[in-house]
Structure 1
Amino acid sequence: MKFLKFAKGSLSSMLMLSVAGAMMTNQAFSQAKPKESLTKYVDPFIGTGFHGHVFLGANVPFGAVQLGPSNISQGWDWCSGYHISDSTIVGFQHTHLSGTGIGDLGDISIMPTTGALKMSKGTIKDMESGYVSKFSHKEETARPGYYAVRLKRYNIGVRLTTTKRVGFHEYTFPKSDQSHIIIDLQEGLCWDTPVKTYIHKVNDSTIAGYRFSTGWAPDQRIYFSAVFSKPIKNFSVYDSTVVKPGTSFQSAKAKGVVTFATKAGEKVLIKVGISPVSEVNAFENIKAELPGWNFNATVAAADAAWNKELQKVDLKTNDLSKKKTFYTAFYHTMIAPSVFNDYNGDYWGTDKKVHRGAKFTNLTTFSLWDTYRAAHPLFTVLQPERVNDMINTMLAIYQQQGSLPMWHLMANDNYCMVGYSAVPVISDAILKGFHGFDIDLAYKAMKSTAMRDTLGIKFVKKLGYIPADSTANSVSMGMEYAIDDWALARVAKKLGKQEDYQYFSKRGENYKNYYDPKAGFMRGRLSADKWREPYSPFTSIHEHGDFTEGNGWQYTWLVPQDVEGLMKLLGGEQRFTQKLDSLFIAQGDMGKEKSPDISGLIGQYAHGNEPSHHVTYLYAYAGQPWKTAEKVRFIVNNFYTDKPDGIIGNEDVGQMSSWYVFSSLGFYPANPANGLYVFGSPLFDEATLHFPGGKAMHLVAKNNSSKNIYIQKVTLNGKPYTKSYISHADLTKGGELAFEMGDKPNKNFGKLMQDRPYSTKP
């Protein structure tokens, strides 16, 4: 394997060109966008407390590298590797998940130390036995694209930043004859276990290797190349804690140590390129993205990248706390899906093959059961230039594994959660007019995925429901399938496939088969005339239950695709609203098996979990949008704050934050694939959404206040607008949408049938 050394002269030239190019780009950008830096309103510590599970560290929007610290503690609250309650660091790792309910990744861990060399990380009870260090939150800084801390045990200053595919480390050492940088390929997060690792010295500036591991994603592979600013004179390799001869080693637990003497205040920099394909590609990623050694310029470039994205929404508010909450939520929506290919387009597929020079940006980390509800609709509004890459990635996965992704991670599908939730995402994109992908292939992929015989689908095709004694989570699974099938039917209609339209429309109504009119709730069905016993709508989820992270109260409302049909099923508009009112006050014992995912409770409404996210907006379908306003205002004010525990539940890869972004602006995609945004209660006095091509939608909430939460009337481009929703087409045309707010409900607004949101256009 051949590596080229950087030439000092070419580095200087390339750095000058890079800085000059960045200056030109920034100058052009500043003429088109607001000049104010918005990254100062982002606090990455929000969500690191309670059960938020967010990533803390340095990255760029949708970047492959999430470079940040990991604590020694492990467990559910450390799924991202870091929790604000902890004060230990075992390394700075290049991949992290953000807001998931299961821990994985934590690849290529680097830890600087001094003194006697320790090769294990240590334990909570005996930290001195390993290299773990304490730190103080007072000496810790995090902002978009940048992280800094001081390791107390070693008095080493740490600064981190990134490009898309390169992590950039700066370590400031004290005076020491025994300064070390440990590259630990054994170390990973929570459920991640190394299977095969390799490390070797390439030359006097470069260490390279790979880490193959298993975890939530069963077959993970990542390659790296690490280029040092200080010549590597002493490099040793280890099998876990046992030193081995030579400068290369392969095992399940390979580690490497660079040792040198440092002067007081000496800075050692490391550029770590990662790749899903090869060490060479990892090295080429460094050459392409980070040819120089100017750490501060790289920090500035990362900051500029985040500002470019954040300035797609320009808020005007005097409430600094809410401004921080908003921009941090917006920031959290742009951590994933993350890049999963090299600068040259190469990527590792789910078919366990290298795909060369892809013409689209391949991505990973699709938490689709969560994100199809609001995160992906938000991408169609504020990230339209990325939507085609997301769809093309899903179609490539289909071609490689025979079905669309369910929960895709690092070229693996872990088949987590229920439903084939890529279908509404692709349907939404097609119905909104995105066409940067093969629509015929997309339809084939959706239909093939929906017509399998696995995961209970054979029962859907034969019976119209999944028997509760045949499959765990049968109710949740079947109801998610109904949403997906409805979305597929809409595309079939658009493409003129009438037979498919009729078939999948009928399957979209299968939710009715889980409704027991005697109980008044959705529940597990055993046969055409028999229900699972015993039953309580308050019963919590458990491993082999009928519901996925929820209960009958919550899942009875999981019909965003046919609210009118649900209304009829529940006995009409009046009974529908009465029962919906009851949801928010019902009290009952959810049982000892209660999932920590079920948080943010208002009665039995659980905002901390995704199946509830559309529910507050259902009132508008019954002509009572003022009730939506009450619930939404309470949630945005109480379940989202600017504190570390400021996210009421698991962030779930941007979905919790996407709900907030939409809802605080004044609307939400209650149906994730019909292109309508239902009005709620705008939180901000003014906001401007910037779209490609110079278009912008100016949102105004007149007379807005903490008491004036109800929409009195609306104008669109100065003309009266009586509907309680706006379409995607009208929103993205730009113009001005003005809400007049008041402290008492205008019960006539949105009351007429023609002004209500609808599931399917009549």
Structure 2
Amino acid sequence: MISPQNYTGENPKWNSGIPYFDSFYCIWDAFRVQHPLLTIVDPKAQVQMVNSLLDIYKHEGWLPDCHMSLCNGWTQGGSNADVVLVDAYVKNLTGIDWELALKAIIQDAEVEPLEWSFHGRGGVQSWRNLDYIPYLDFDPLGFGTNSRSISRTLEYSYNDFCLATLAQGLGHTSVYEKYVERSTNWRNLWKAGQTSAIRGRDTGFTGFFQPKYQNGTWGYQDPIDCSALASFCSLTSNPSETFEASVWQYQFIVPHSQSSLISLMGGEQQFVSRLDFFHTSGLADISNEPVFSTVYLYHYAGRPGLSTKRLHTYIPASFNATNGGLPGNDDSGSMGAFVTFGMLGLFPISGQDVYLISAPFFAAINITSPVTGKTAQIKTVGFDAAYNNIFIQNVMVNGKPWTKSWIGHALFTEGWTMEVVLGNKESSWGTKIEDRPPSWDQTTDVARIM
């Protein structure tokens, strides 16, 4: 709740007559959970922040990625202000010029700034012509830190999916079709035969993302590099093909198409086994934002109970009231927002109107929308303070059975009541294919249920 900061009246460069926010430092940290949390508890401020992003675009020419005290910081991955804007759109925030937002996001996707270390995207020509960001990319249009080819490919893919989402909502069908197709580019760096070993011992899993040269041949990055089991990868001192996390961690970061990813990994059981290995082998770093969603991805394989079980391995083990009770730093509120959502029993998929449902940490929670004045109620039946009952048995929403393992933002704006019945064993709730979270499928060109 400290950053971004309201600097209205403190901007010497321009005055648009609207609230001015700064210290988006950095959106790569904040777009996943912090901005979605602000959308729930302070949507008025979130609207002002979105409008400030668009105001910066109008005056500086680009949506910022890491902007603090009127200055740009390093772009860490994709153009993730795109995700913040689209998350606000799908959750029906008002008072925002959505056509302007679409224009700004399309510029990120199509126009490369001369120095793309600060905003926008690099390698736009390769992105168009090769459908991936190459290892050691030759970029005649601009310059920047020429690394992170894997993580940028993954993030650009999701950025384009978010662009497509906004275009579709605004009725721009041809724009939607173009960018939803480009959102599949992540598949082009999947190397089906790639293996991974830890200290010479094979992990037993085959198929990982790998860097690829411009000529289509494969490069190599050890899948455990940049993890806690290897050396840390910073943007400047140790640039690698993934940013601040390993291939093992980034392999799960395809928020729009988990069903396709599960298929590439060999099916649901293999996917669950990978998640389990990732979280129990020392490869997962809960202090790093890309790991947040991996705690909950069991939902997409029909095992939502395992998401709650995994969450309880991190809260309170890594998040507690001791001197060491915050892993790393809070990254502008990211860690705190992750814990808040975990305790609410929800996790947002930013850029989509999707909250994954897990077991709340409280017997009852009320959240009143500052916009509508309506109060969402989350109640647990079978709650116990020892947290032995962490598996959802069934859910009722407004007195009716709710079989889906996810719910939309209307829970908050319309003041729904969600009752969660807990028990000490996994149940069949949320396991059916039709009850799993939405996942876009290229073969049907729709965001279908897995």
What TM-score results when the alignment is normalised by the length of structure 2?
0.86
CA distance in 1, matches of 2:51, 2:171: 23
Equivalent residues in 2 for 1:420-499 (5 A)?
A: 420-453=79-112, 454=116, 455-470=122-137, 471-499=146-174
The residue matched to 1:615 in structure 2 has which SS? helix
CA distance in 2, matches of 1:687, 1:729: 16
C-alpha contact 1:632 1:680 (8 A) present in aligned 2:
no
C-alpha contact 1:493 1:501 (8 A) present in aligned 2:
yes
Q: Per-residue deviation at 1:528?
A: 5.3
1:347 alignment partner, one of 1, 11, 16: 11
Whether 1:337 aligns to 2:4 is yes
C-alpha contact 2:344 2:361 (8 A) present in aligned 1:
yes
The structure that has the greater radius of gyration is: 1
Whether 1:379 aligns to 2:38 is yes
Q: Per-residue deviation at 1:425?
A: 0.5
Aligned to 1:360: 18
C-alpha contact 2:404 2:436 (8 A) present in aligned 1:
yes
C-alpha contact 1:374 1:672 (8 A) present in aligned 2:
yes
Q: Per-residue deviation at 1:743?
A: 1.1
C-alpha contact 1:515 1:522 (8 A) present in aligned 2:
yes
Equivalent residues in 2 for 1:13-92 (5 A)?
A: none
Q: Per-residue deviation at 1:704?
A: 1.7
Aligned to 2:430: 750
CA deviation map 1:699-735 (0-9, x unaligned): 1122223211111111112221111111112343113
CA distance in 2, matches of 1:440, 1:608: 36
CA distance in 1, matches of 2:439, 2:351: 9
Q: Per-residue deviation at 1:536?
A: 1.9
CA distance in 2, matches of 1:710, 1:434: 33
The residue matched to 2:213 in structure 1 has which SS? strand
Aligned to 2:199: none
CA distance in 2, matches of 1:551, 1:395: 33
Whether 1:514 aligns to 2:189 is yes
Q: Per-residue deviation at 1:426?
A: 0.3
CA deviation map 1:406-442 (0-9, x unaligned): 1011111123311101001101111222231211111
C-alpha contact 1:695 1:734 (8 A) present in aligned 2:
yes
The residue matched to 1:668 in structure 2 has which SS? strand
Aligned to 1:652: 331
C-alpha contact 1:633 1:683 (8 A) present in aligned 2:
no
1:408 alignment partner, one of 67, 92, 95: 67
Matched letter for residue 409 of structure 2: H
CA distance in 1, matches of 2:83, 2:109: 12
Aligned to 2:340: 661
CA deviation map 1:219-243 (0-9, x unaligned): xxxxxxxxxxxxxxxxxxxxxxxxx
CA distance in 2, matches of 1:445, 1:626: 40
CA distance in 1, matches of 2:111, 2:253: 23
Bigger shift: 542-551 or 451-460? 451-460
CA distance in 2, matches of 1:394, 1:720: 40
CA distance in 1, matches of 2:300, 2:70: 40
Aligned to 1:245: none
CA distance in 1, matches of 2:69, 2:36: 23
Aligned to 1:703: 382
Matched letter for residue 759 of structure 1: S
Q: Per-residue deviation at 1:644?
A: 3.0
Matched letter for residue 469 of structure 1: L
C-alpha contact 1:712 1:749 (8 A) present in aligned 2:
yes
* C-alpha spacing 1:664/1:528, structure 2 compared with 1 (3 Å): farther
Matched letter for residue 380 of structure 2: A
The residue matched to 2:280 in structure 1 has which SS? coil
CA distance in 1, matches of 2:173, 2:66: 31
Matched letter for residue 743 of structure 1: N
C-alpha contact 2:210 2:219 (8 A) present in aligned 1:
yes
Whether 1:552 aligns to 2:247 is yes
2:225 alignment partner, one of 531, 536, 539: 539
C-alpha contact 1:466 1:478 (8 A) present in aligned 2:
yes
Please list every run of 5 or more consecutive structure 1 residues that lacks an aligned counterpart in the other structure. Answer: 1-333, 587-602
Aligned to 1:759: 439
CA distance in 2, matches of 1:362, 1:529: 45
Q: Per-residue deviation at 1:608?
A: 0.7
C-alpha contact 2:369 2:412 (8 A) present in aligned 1:
no
Structure possessing the higher relative contact order (Cα contacts under 8 Å, 6 or more residues apart): 2
CA deviation map 1:464-485 (0-9, x unaligned): 1111112211111111111111
The residue matched to 1:698 in structure 2 has which SS? strand
Aligned to 1:615: 294
Matched letter for residue 704 of structure 1: F
Matched letter for residue 751 of structure 1: T
Aligned to 1:735: 416
CA distance in 1, matches of 2:64, 2:128: 21
Equivalent residues in 2 for 1:568-647 (5 A)?
A: 568-586=263-281, 603-647=282-326
CA deviation map 1:526-577 (0-9, x unaligned): 14542213x3211125322111001111010111121112112222223222
Matched letter for residue 407 of structure 2: I
The residue matched to 1:662 in structure 2 has which SS? helix
CA deviation map 1:118-170 (0-9, x unaligned): xxxxxxxxxxxxxxxxxxxxxxxxxxxxxxxxxxxxxxxxxxxxxxxxxxxxx
CA distance in 1, matches of 2:175, 2:215: 25
C-alpha contact 1:475 1:524 (8 A) present in aligned 2:
yes
Aligned to 2:197: none
2:76 alignment partner, one of 417, 426, 443: 417
CA distance in 1, matches of 2:76, 2:44: 28
Matched letter for residue 253 of structure 2: L
Q: Per-residue deviation at 1:492?
A: 0.6
C-alpha contact 1:609 1:650 (8 A) present in aligned 2:
no
The residue matched to 1:545 in structure 2 has which SS? coil
C-alpha contact 2:191 2:209 (8 A) present in aligned 1:
yes
1:398 alignment partner, one of 57, 75, 97: 57
How many residues of Structure 1 are paired with residues of Structure 2 in the alignment?
Answer: 401
CA distance in 2, matches of 1:388, 1:539: 39
CA distance in 2, matches of 1:553, 1:737: 35
The residue matched to 2:244 in structure 1 has which SS? coil
The residue matched to 2:316 in structure 1 has which SS? helix
What TM-score results when the alignment is normalised by the length of structure 1?
0.51
C-alpha contact 1:674 1:759 (8 A) present in aligned 2:
no
C-alpha contact 1:368 1:407 (8 A) present in aligned 2:
yes
